[in-house]
Chains A and B, each alone.
Chain A
Amino acid sequence: MIHNLPQLIVNGLIAASITLLISLGLTMIFGVLGFINFAHAELAMVGAYLFFLIYGVAKIPLVVGLLLAALGVGLLNLIIERFTFRPVRKSTPLVPLIISVGVSFALSSIVQLIFGANAKTVHAETLSRQYSVFGAIITETQLAIIAITIVLVVGLFLFLKYTALGKAMRAVADNAEVAEIVGIDVNRTIAWLFFIGGALAGIAGALVSFERNMYPSMGLPLNIAAFAAVIVGGVGSVPGAVIGSLLNNFAETIIIGINLPVSWCALFSGSPPVTCAVSAGYKSAIAFVIVVLMLLIRPRGILGRSAEEETRS
């Protein structure tokens, strides 16, 4: 029953990597500005198409392509912040939230206008070798996705903990007004926040394009997965996003991927079927069951701060 577990763990890691890179920006922006940015995963979509242009069409080397996609999407997010979210920063969080919905529609429509609605693919011919780890098969592409994610997440932790800018971000997240009083340039800090969040999403998109097809509408499912991970991990918490992404994706891949004893299904259907398993049709429901359970048991998420802690700090 569980001898395919190593493969399922590898599958979960690949899926979690993509979700994680998107949920990081989502949770950081919430931590600082207090709203869920529904346009965030659309940035990954833009990143995928940018990478398609740079690497797939212009044939610029892979690493340069990834960096350019990150840079491009980071800059795009900077512009979006400057012209849409900054003017309404002092209003209730509902206003930027609605704006973000509009921005997400605009981004996917613009991409559809330019590239058309058909699926696009990037083929990484250089990254197709396969390895076997404890019986699990993993391709070089997938190893690269997981490795890049680990490097970026560790880098982000160190950045937030040790650099002046990272500390400034945490200060603004704690209390923007006080941060301003002690001399932190809040506008600049938030601009950097959007740049970094955008760059991470851009890389996520570029990595997705190796693994999957690109569509102008691919952002929404990515956003939903990232959103679920952020709620489970604790809204606003970066380590929470890591835990939420891993938990949701492992739960999904393992529950869907295991062959259950046939007698279990016989409990429901009467006669024992040929095989027994949870249908993949329920896959996206699994993350939401976790979300609902989390909201019932611990509404702040695993590492989120409660309302009391919020007011005390």
Chain B
Amino acid sequence: MTLSKVSLVVASLLVFAACTSQEPTVAPESSAEKPAAEKATVYKIGAIQSLSGDAAGYGDPQAKAMQIAVDEVNAAGGVDGVMLELVAEDSKCDPKTGVTALQKLISVDNVQVVIGGTCSGESLAMAPIANQNKVVLFSASATSPDLTEQGGEFFFRNAPSDTKAGSALAARATAMGLKRMALISENTPFAQGIRNVFKTTYTAGEIVADEVYNTGDADFRSQLTRIKDLAPDGLIVNPQTGASGGLIAKQARELGITVQKFTNETMGGDEGVKSGGLEAMNGIIFHQEVLDDSNVRTKAFVDAYTAKYGERPQYDMYAAGAYDAVKLVVNGIKANGYTGEGIRKYLNEAGTYEGALSTYSFDSFGDSTTDIAPRMIDETGKNVPYQG
């Protein structure tokens, strides 16, 4: 190998290393200061959603809903004459990818507000960077209880913290008289959040199994065989995505586990039923925010989405939340100008907001008052209210 070849290889390795380096570098301070440039021609709204990978089922409808909101604002003349522009990035439900996307949006696009991330894991990773740069990070679907504290003052969300979903599961199991609960959770911040809340709030009996599996696992038979052996009277399937949760429900059913099953909101879409099958999914109970279609704002959003994309959004509550997020941010820009600080101030002081998701306000931690309701999958695979 000649010297020039060696140096070429070394150089390319260095370039590669530079490209893949994940150091959470802080964007230059200047970018945070200059934003509300005197003569803005366009207000950029950053968008970081899980657009590919297992969680694309949540992120894709969110991105579409945000585009609808942006189009509506622009059609009505923009924000005091300035048009909105959505700058979308894909986080793949992966913290590292999310951080890279956020750094790009802050340092290259100079955004003052980012709507995202879709998953709790990426949101937890991005929140410190958003806070350092005084950029508002607004998630419509990250529900981990950890975000309440760790989100910092620039993190907001209109999805409810899983403190609600986890303790609702515990209350449900208690009310049904279940004494031996088995729990199988994915190793992601979202699922672990629910797991931890359930473990601390369920006191009516024993948690006989508390299994954790890694994202990407496809064979759950060993754990389920062991769980069956422990004769639980309730099973909580707690995945990050409906696809893996459905698989667990299916394999549990095949192994003859017939006890009452519970899950989280990720199983409310089509994916859970598709991968689990009707038989395994029928009667599974979970909690989520529910859109009220009799509400005019909700109906207008759902109709606009259906008209544009030909179907009701999957995980409609996340999509409606993302739509609301854009509208709230626009209100913030109108009130205090296009700065992260101004938008943060507006959201903190906004009071009650009547949106497409529901009517809610933000507490001092940036958590919303959005509530959840019990749901179940019926024998036809539909997500219906649970009457219990």
Q: Which residues of A contact B (CB under 8 A)?
A: 3-4, 7-8, 11, 14-15, 112, 116-119, 121, 123, 130, 137, 139, 211-213, 215, 217-218, 221, 252-254, 256-259, 274-275, 277, 279-281, 283-284
- A to B CB contacts below 8 Å, 9 in the list: A4-B226, A11-B221, A11-B222, A117-B54, A213-B246, A256-B223, A275-B208, A280-B220, A283-B217
Q: Which of B40-48, B105-113, B125-133, B270-278 contacts A (4 or more CB under 8 A)?
A: B270-278
CB of B149 to closest CB in A, whole Å: 25
CB of B263 to closest CB in A, whole Å: 16
User: A4 vs B228: C-alpha distance in the bound complex, in angstroms?
Assistant: 9
CB of A278 to closest CB in B, whole Å: 9
Instruction: Give the chain A neighbours of B275 by CB distance below 8 A.
Output: 119, 121, 213
Instruction: Give the chain B neighbours of A279 by CB distance below 8 A.
Output: 211-212
Instruction: Give the chain B neighbours of A4 by CB distance below 8 A.
Output: 225-226, 228-229
In the complex formed, the residue of B with least CB distance to A138 is B254
Is the CB–CB distance between A123 and B226 below 8 Å?
no
B8 on the A face (CB < 8 A): no
Is the CB–CB distance between A277 and B217 below 8 Å?
no
User: A15 vs B251: C-alpha distance in the bound complex, in angstroms?
Assistant: 13
Q: In the complex, which residues 129-151 of chain B have their Cβ closer than 8 Å to any Cβ of chain A?
A: none
Tell me which of A119, A137, A221 contacts B243 (CB under 8 A): A119
Is the CB–CB distance between A139 and B254 below 8 Å?
yes
User: A274 vs B230: C-alpha distance in the bound complex, in angstroms?
Assistant: 10
B365 on the A face (CB < 8 A): no
CB of A262 to closest CB in B, whole Å: 11
CB of A171 to closest CB in B, whole Å: 35
- Would A280 and B52 be within 8 Å (CB), given that A118-B271, A213-B275, A275-B230 are in contact? no
Q: In the complex, which residues 178-221 of chain B have their Cβ closer than 8 Å to any Cβ of chain A?
A: 187, 206-209, 211-214, 216-221
Is the CB–CB distance between B277 and A123 below 8 Å?
yes
Additional pairs, 20, CB under 8 Å, beyond known A212-B219, A259-B226: A14-B219, A117-B52, A118-B54, A118-B243, A119-B54, A121-B274, A130-B254, A137-B255, A139-B254, A213-B247, A218-B218, A221-B218, A258-B226, A274-B206, A274-B207, A277-B226, A279-B211, A280-B211, A281-B213, A283-B213
Is the CB–CB distance between A280 and B223 below 8 Å?
yes
- Would A212 and B247 be within 8 Å (CB), given that A119-B271, A280-B211 are in contact? yes
Is the CB–CB distance between B218 and A212 below 8 Å?
yes
CB of A255 to closest CB in B, whole Å: 8
In the complex formed, the residue of A with least CB distance to B256 is A137
In the complex formed, the residue of B with least CB distance to A112 is B52
User: A100 vs B12: C-alpha distance in the bound complex, in angstroms?
Assistant: 21
User: A119 vs B243: C-alpha distance in the bound complex, in angstroms?
Assistant: 6
CB of B94 to closest CB in A, whole Å: 12
Is the CB–CB distance between A221 and B226 below 8 Å?
no
Most buried by B among A212, A280, A281: A280
Tell me which of A3, A213, A274, A280 contacts B212 (CB under 8 A): A280
Interface footprint category on B: 35 or more
User: A256 vs B218: C-alpha distance in the bound complex, in angstroms?
Assistant: 14
Q: Which residues of B contact A (CB under 8 A)?
A: 52-54, 56-57, 187, 206-209, 211-214, 216-223, 225-226, 228-230, 241, 243-244, 246-247, 254-256, 271, 274-275, 277
Is the CB–CB distance between B207 and A11 below 8 Å?
no
CB of B312 to closest CB in A, whole Å: 17
User: A283 vs B211: C-alpha distance in the bound complex, in angstroms?
Assistant: 12
Most buried by A among B206, B208, B222: B222
User: A288 vs B254: C-alpha distance in the bound complex, in angstroms?
Assistant: 29
Tell me which of A7, A118, A275, A281 contacts B225 (CB under 8 A): A7
Is the CB–CB distance between B54 and A284 below 8 Å?
no
Is the CB–CB distance between B254 and A259 below 8 Å?
no
CB of A44 to closest CB in B, whole Å: 12
Tell me which of A215, A258, A275, A280 contacts B213 (CB under 8 A): A280
Is the CB–CB distance between B54 and A215 below 8 Å?
yes
Tell me which of A3, A112, A137, A275 contacts B209 (CB under 8 A): A275
Is the CB–CB distance between A257 and B247 below 8 Å?
no
Is the CB–CB distance between A257 and B225 below 8 Å?
yes
CB of B143 to closest CB in A, whole Å: 21
- Would A252 and B221 be within 8 Å (CB), given that A137-B254, A139-B254, A213-B247 are in contact? no
CB of A37 to closest CB in B, whole Å: 21
Instruction: Give the chain A neighbours of B226 by CB distance below 8 A.
Output: 4, 256-259, 277
Rank and list the top 7 A-B pairs by shortest CB-CB distance, nearest first.
Answer: A119-B243, A257-B222, A256-B222, A11-B221, A212-B218, A117-B52, A253-B222
User: A217 vs B93: C-alpha distance in the bound complex, in angstroms?
Assistant: 14
User: A217 vs B56: C-alpha distance in the bound complex, in angstroms?
Assistant: 14
CB of A57 to closest CB in B, whole Å: 14
User: A140 vs B244: C-alpha distance in the bound complex, in angstroms?
Assistant: 22
In the complex formed, the residue of B with least CB distance to A277 is B226
Instruction: Give the chain B neighbours of A123 by CB distance below 8 A.
Output: 277
Instruction: Give the chain A neighbours of B254 by CB distance below 8 A.
Output: 130, 137, 139
In the complex formed, the residue of A with least CB distance to B211 is A280
CB of A257 to closest CB in B, whole Å: 4
User: A213 vs B246: C-alpha distance in the bound complex, in angstroms?
Assistant: 9
User: A257 vs B225: C-alpha distance in the bound complex, in angstroms?
Assistant: 6
User: A200 vs B23: C-alpha distance in the bound complex, in angstroms?
Assistant: 43
Instruction: Give the chain B neighbours of A118 by CB distance below 8 A.
Output: 54, 56-57, 243, 271
Instruction: Give the chain A neighbours of B212 by CB distance below 8 A.
Output: 279-281
Tell me which of B53, B208, B221, B223 contacts A14 (CB under 8 A): B221
Instruction: Give the chain A neighbours of B216 by CB distance below 8 A.
Output: 217, 221
User: A117 vs B51: C-alpha distance in the bound complex, in angstroms?
Assistant: 9
Instruction: Give the chain B neighbours of A7 by CB distance below 8 A.
Output: 221, 225, 255
Most buried by A among B207, B212, B247, B255: B255
CB of A251 to closest CB in B, whole Å: 11
User: A117 vs B49: C-alpha distance in the bound complex, in angstroms?
Assistant: 14
